[in-house]
Amino acid sequence: MNVSDSEVVARLLSDHGYRPCDLPEDARVILVNTCSIRENAEKRVMARLDYFGLMKRQDPQLKVGILGCMATRLKEALLEHPAVDFVAGPDSYRHLPGMLGPSPTAPVQVKLSATETYADIKPYRELSRGVTSFVTIMRGCNNMCAYCIVPYVRGRERSRDPLSVEEEVRDLFAGGFREVTLLGQNVNSYHWKPGDSTAPVTFAQLLERVAGISSLLRVRYTTSHPKDMQDDVLRAMARYPNICKHIHLPVQSGSNQMLKKMNRGYTREDYLERIASIRRILPGCSISSDIIAGFCDETPEDHAQTLSLMKEARFDQAFMFHYSQRPNTLAARHYQDNVPEDVKIGRLNEIIALQNLLSLESNRADVDKEFEVLVEGVSKRSREDYFGRTGTNKVCVFPHGNSTVGNYVRVKVKSCTAATLKAEIITENNRS
């Protein structure tokens, strides 16, 4: 989401004569786009600000601004840091040219909007330098998961006009991009109500409209919410071969007590029923998840439930964290963060160890199978290899032969680790 927002900001400023540069040392203005979801992310931002503070001592003309979720959360308090000149929340980016102008407007702009979607701003894609891109289809979130700060820092949910989404995707395709990921905190509640009497557009319909732009364009999306994901989306995925067969479906916990306390709006049984639907309608579809270890009052039995759900759901990949309390959230106001740190870390380590096994098993099942892969670039490990992802979102590395970045190749998987498939090309430039 922040990459996508940074591209909107870069466009707003490039329209006023600013140009991006590669190194902070070459910049006249530094913008730090921030995330507040985890405490660690905020700590890293503060460490960067200390460094920018040193740069400002050498060059007092340098301007430093904080964007994103930390801006909304900390507001004026951020100005107390000697590096920070101005603060703009996620719905205030249109103020940036004025904040940086010769008669700067107020240095703190953090008001959340019920309508802002930046639908009319063409994101500055030159920052992406690749063949894959993100397209924001909605902003904010109306859910109130007890641990989550997003509704407080990014505001109420609003969907973007599907025509502007399609136009952006068409531009991307014409510019050589071959994969788009449609982004929203909860894409399943995407809902565009036109001003006239025509019926509202649902996420499944938007997905089909985007997939219909070209069969050479891969379409992904994230994030799904288990309480809102309906079979219409799964059926749309089944109808279009270019909609990638991967679903990120955050479960967070396998215990009904914890799910209730987290205010997630579904039970373990509901979640497993969604997994069964995915397996039924989209055989071979990969599933990833988010898991939190050590939420408030979590018992060893709750933790065991999470491990057992992971075994039942057989996630291909997962993002795993131990709970870190975020200020002003429902959990911070009403619950005690009472699972000791060492217990949280111990449980997280068990979750990670299990997921590593599941990921390895999932990848081993792909050995000797063939996949179509979009070539995304040169592998970090070897200049002789390219990397790309399968439709099931598995990273695949293969000797590049005569293939080219931005084209599709057909590969056969020869071996694997828990994180990567190692393959050989069968057909170069498969569908260009």
Binding residues for ligand SF4 (CB under 6 A) = 141, 143, 145, 148, 150-151, 185-186, 225
Q: Residue 265 or residue 377: which is nearer to ligand SF4 going by CB?
A: 265
CA atoms within 13 A on the CB side of 224: 25
Q: Residue 294 or residue 388: which is nearer to ligand SF4 going by CB?
A: 294
Q: Residue 108 or residue 292: which is nearer to ligand SF4 going by CB?
A: 292
Q: What six digits make up the tokens of 37?
A: 């979801």
Amino acid at 297: D
Least distance between ligand SF4 and beta carbon 255 (Å): 17
Task: Report how far residue 24's alpha carbon sits from residue 27's, in angstroms, rounded to the nearest whole number.
Answer: 5
CA dihedral 95, 141, 34, 129 (to 10 degrees): -90
**Burial status of residue 165 (CB atoms within 10 A of its CB: 0-12, 13-18, 19 or more):** buried
Q: Residue 225 or residue 303: which is nearer to ligand SF4 going by CB?
A: 225
Least distance between ligand SF4 and beta carbon 298 (Å): 17
Alpha helices for 323-413 (secondary structure H): 330-334, 341-364
**Burial status of residue 75 (CB atoms within 10 A of its CB: 0-12, 13-18, 19 or more):** middle
Q: Residue 329 or residue 379: which is nearer to ligand SF4 going by CB?
A: 329
Amino acid at 210: V
Least distance between ligand SF4 and beta carbon 151 (Å): 5
Q: How far is CA 315 from CA 263, 404, 410, in A?
A: 22, 32, 25
Amino acid at 206: L
Least distance between ligand SF4 and beta carbon 167 (Å): 26
Contact 348, 294 (CB under 8 A): yes
Least distance between ligand SF4 and beta carbon 145 (Å): 3
Least distance between ligand SF4 and beta carbon 432 (Å): 37
Least distance between ligand SF4 and beta carbon 39 (Å): 16
Distance from the first to the final alpha carbon of the chain: 29
- What is the length of the chain? 432
Q: Residue 1 or residue 172: which is nearer to ligand SF4 going by CB?
A: 1
Q: Residue 117 or residue 128: which is nearer to ligand SF4 going by CB?
A: 117
